[in-house]
Amino acid sequence: MTKKAKMSVLITAAILIGGILLFVLFQKEPEPFLSEKQIIKRINSIFPEAQPKSIQNKIFLDDTHVFVPFISEESGYGMSFWVWKGNKWKAASVNMGGQPQVWNGEEKSLIMWNMNPKDDVSEIGVFMKGDRDFLVSDGIATYQPGIEMMHSIALKGKTYGVERFPDNWRELMKQYVKLQAEDGQNDFPDFNDPIRLVTNFHDKEGEEIIPEHSFNGNSYTTGYNFVDVPFLVTVQEEELEGAY
């Protein structure tokens, strides 16, 4: 490498290190969250299709993450998810519907939703579910027991909400994933289907329903590298083993 090339590399490295130090040193504490007018303006600038008309609430999940349910110009019930990043409040995702999503924070996991009143949802059932399995490898038979646990959320006439599912679920899922990662090192079974969260819905009469109005609409997201708030898949009663 020539002397000129070495100097160029050193200068580039110094600039990169300086930039990283500036970014770290000048990370500011979160500013007060946006006003309703600012939220609507920002959503319209990145995802005008959502057409928010009124903000229903601003719910802090922690110091740097905020859940904001809204009603659109066409009376749709949507959701947005905000994060303090790069010294700004940014919309990580905007959804025209209110299908339940899960957010995994550092210390807790939360379920968020905003159900359209047209669907007449009275209860959301959240299930932690893992399918049983049986496999034989190298002459060794292994049985994987099934998992099915339910957590019920009563809406009580409110369209939106945030709820923490049981702490032991989070710990069980963490251990399950850990064992999967160790598969092959500890002779643990090879699980093809990971343990997962799914939902179903009932009206005030206790009848199972599909909340079509709440599931309608497109969504905007900045990508999974930014923040992960996946939708929960719906499960039908005939797919469950227990009686709920």
Q: Are strands 65-72 and 59-60 parallel, antiparallel or unpaired?
A: antiparallel
pTM of the model: 0.79
CA-CA distance, 213 to 13, in Å (whole number)?
53
> pLDDT of 178-220, one tens digit each?
776 665 544 444 445 568 889 999 999 999 999 999 998 777 7
Residue 231 neighbours by CB under 8 Å, 6+ apart: 99, 100, 101
pLDDT in tens, 69-97: 999 999 999 999 999 988 999 999 999 99
Residue 85's beta-bridge partner residues?
A: 88
Percent of all residues in the chain with a pLDDT value above 90, rounded to a whole number: 49
C-alpha–C-alpha distance, residues 50 and 73, integer Å = 8
Nearest to residue 50, comparing CAs of 85, 9, 79?
A: 79
Mean pLDDT of 130-151: 84
Say how far apart CA 197 and CA 231 lie, in whole Å: 10
Tokens encoding 2: 């020539």
The chain-wide mean pLDDT, for the chain, equals 84
